Chains A and B, each alone.
Chain A
């Protein structure tokens, strides 16, 4: 079935970087856009950026510009999100999710989420 499977939970110290992976299966990876969305404890969902899995184009939220990198490996049908210069406010669940023109870019498939804890 169509699914996105993310890497496991991470604990990082302030100032470090974290890289979360998202492996797609059950569909043509390069036909969709992969979005990254995070949710701090008790907070709303927050869009971080996206990558067009076909051509590799990316776009990022102004809030994360310069701190986030999103890449993909088409041979592995996987996308990656790296966030640098971590601070305590970055403690959140990070989701990868899929969108396409067919659903007018609604996010129709979500990964299970990766908890990232930033603590000294």
Chain B
């Protein structure tokens, strides 16, 4: 079963804004654990985009933003660009599993 659920795909035209949801439960996101977001380009290792729910590491464009509320979190990409085509994963900690969990992943397509 999916501990953290994401939509399989989202799409948008260049310049548009898209959001990716990450739905958890009271044992992970809802328990107050941090949510991190990663971008994975085809054939490469993931790269952290957002950590601690909403903090952007240096070098990550401010087009990427994260938020968290209740048992869910979201990643927003504004001013969508062709190079944003990738898979995106959320990650948190789950107390019932006593371990880290990743979301099911979302493929972003730029139309």
Chain A positions within 8 Å of B, measured between CB atoms, are 35, 37, 44-47, 59-62, 95, 97, 103-108, 110-113
Contact = CB atoms under 8 A, between A and B. Distances in A.
Interface string B43-61: 0011110011001010000
Contacts of A97: 45
Contacts of B100: 35, 47, 61
Contacts of B46: 45, 95, 107, 110
A110 B41 CA distance: 13
Interface stretch (B23-31, B75-83, B101-109): B101-109
A64 to B, nearest CB: 10
Interface residues of B, number: 23
B38 A108 contact: no
B99 A61 contact: yes
A107 B98 CA distance: 18
Nearest to A42: B105
Contact residues of A: prevailing secondary structure: strand
A35 B99 CA distance: 11
A104 B51 contact: yes
Given A44-B102, A44-B103, A106 B97 contact: no
Given A62-B97, A106-B36, 13 more contacts: A37-B102, A44-B105, A45-B91, A47-B99, A47-B100, A47-B101, A95-B46, A104-B34, A105-B34, A106-B34, A106-B51, A108-B51, A111-B45
